[in-house]
Structure 1
Amino acid sequence: MLDFCAIDFETATHERNSACEMGICLVENGEIVETKTWLIKPPSFPYFNRHNVAVHGITAEDVLYAPTFDEIWYEAEEMLYGNLMIAHNAGFDAGVLRGCLDYYGLFKPKIKYLCSIQLAKKSWKGLHSYGLKNLANQHQIEFNHHRAGDDAEVCAKLSMLAFDQLMLTRNEEVADVMKNSLKLL
């Protein structure tokens, strides 16, 4: 059966270590079992770039009493452990995860990750846009865009639809069909 987790980050600045929100959606046996969202106080606190705030709406006031990344990592790592990680525009999210782990001197786990844009392009050829919002609209999935938990959950739902489209039912099949798209954190 398909087991994976979808992850999404929102950032306070252009710095890769500036996660201000992280969402993880855990999928076991092809079913969503949990979606968790953490607000995070970034190293840049109290500075938030106005362009970033314009995208996600998260401000310094929202994270005033939030934990730092290193304080929530143990819980997030437990959800990620042993799972394929999927993100929409995965290069960005993997870069933020790497940036946060490096900033706090935390061990980088060996996680294989896949970009759901690549998965969508393989599943639904010829779309004019493979953006998360467009794909969600195409599949009648409503969500609060640019909030990490919502984006992670939509990424998971779209990935499951794509796996169905490609008739993939096991992680081994995903690894075989998407081998050129799989990367290591």
Structure 2
Amino acid sequence: MRYLALDFETGNASRLSACALGVSIFEDNTLVAEQTTLIKPPAQVGKFHWGNVRVNHIKESMVADAPAFDEVWQGAIAELAEGSVLVCHNAMFDTAVLCACLAYYHLPVPECRYVCTVKVAQRVWPQLQNHKLDTVSQALGIELNHHEAGSDARAAGLILQAALRETASADADELAEKIGMRLGRISCMGTVPCSIAKEFQGGKAVRSTQSHV
């Protein structure tokens, strides 16, 4: 199974303000490639917010000559995303940024599933004080330069790999079954969120008898 770990950094509250993308590719549970790229957001998103700059240290001047999202995404990354399992820490944010940018540039939406490593960590290591990326990374001995897109993407991928080992799961599908999680899905038909069962007893998810769309 191929996993494509992603992390976006943004310049302000707009989902179109992606200013950096980190990608780590895992094949057969092995990290095989990495890429980090600065991105120049569309002019319409406005000025970078000081709060975002304080967190990710990316200033507008740093992306003035950077490629736009469509240049970064098209080609190898788009091809790899198709059919992969995307891996993000707080996937609701990163998948929202991805879908917003794809829509803005009229790019095809990849048919893929995704997993949120926040939800994975909550199930696999419930004893942690919290399940922020830096907390989980420190607990697992994962080196992290927090809010640097490439480092965050790699950490998310390594957290998933650690969870697979911890639960003796062969892949994300088996892990999801064991911890009561449904993988999210992205397609041209829309997005289905990554979710966890409300009830989870004795290491097994208690499924509702009601149908879900």
- Structure 1 length-normalised TM: 0.93
Secondary structure (helix, strand or coil) at the match of 2:35 reads strand
* Counterpart position of 1:100: 101
How far apart, CA to CA, are the structure 2 residues paired with 1:129 and 1:52? 22
Q: Does 1:78 align with 2:62?
A: no
Counterpart contact for 2:124–2:179, Cα < 8 Å: no
Q: Which amino acid in the other structure matches residue 17 of structure 1? A: L
Counterpart contact for 2:4–2:23, Cα < 8 Å: yes
Greater CA drift, 103-112 or 126-135: 103-112
Secondary structure (helix, strand or coil) at the match of 1:16 reads coil
Counterpart contact for 2:22–2:151, Cα < 8 Å: yes
Counterpart contact for 1:9–1:93, Cα < 8 Å: yes
* Counterpart position of 1:158: 159
Deviation at 1:112, TM superposition (A): 0.8
* Counterpart position of 2:23: 24
Deviation at 1:84, TM superposition (A): 0.4
Counterpart contact for 1:13–1:48, Cα < 8 Å: yes
Select the structure with the greater relative contact order (CA < 8 A; seq sep ≥ 6): 1
Deviation at 1:17, TM superposition (A): 1.2
Task: State the number of aligned residues.
Answer: 184
How far apart, CA to CA, are the structure 2 residues paired with 1:179 and 1:129? 19
* Counterpart position of 1:37: 36
CA-to-aligned-CA distance 1:115-142 (integer Å, 9 cap, x gap): 0011111211221110000111112222
Q: Which amino acid in the other structure matches residue 152 of structure 1? A: A
Identity of aligned residues (%): 35
How far apart, CA to CA, are the structure 2 residues paired with 1:131 and 1:16? 21
Deviation at 1:109, TM superposition (A): 1.6
* Unmatched 5+ stretches in structure 2: 187-213
* Counterpart position of 2:65: 65
CA-based RMSD of the aligned residues comes to: 1.6
Deviation at 1:148, TM superposition (A): 0.7
Deviation at 1:3, TM superposition (A): 2.5
Q: Does 1:174 align with 2:175?
A: yes
- Structure 2 length-normalised TM: 0.81
Secondary structure (helix, strand or coil) at the match of 2:122 reads helix
Question: Residues 5-16 of structure 1: matches in 2 within 5 Å?
Answer: 5-16=4-15
Deviation at 1:166, TM superposition (A): 1.1
Name the structure with the higher strand share. Answer: 2
Q: Which amino acid in the other structure matches residue 32 of structure 2? A: V
* Unmatched 5+ stretches in structure 1: none
How far apart, CA to CA, are the structure 1 residues paired with 2:179 and 2:66? 37
Q: Which amino acid in the other structure matches residue 115 of structure 2? A: L
How far apart, CA to CA, are the structure 2 residues paired with 1:143 and 1:180? 26
Q: Does 1:88 align with 2:89?
A: yes
Q: Which amino acid in the other structure matches residue 60 of structure 1? A: E
Counterpart contact for 1:46–1:60, Cα < 8 Å: no
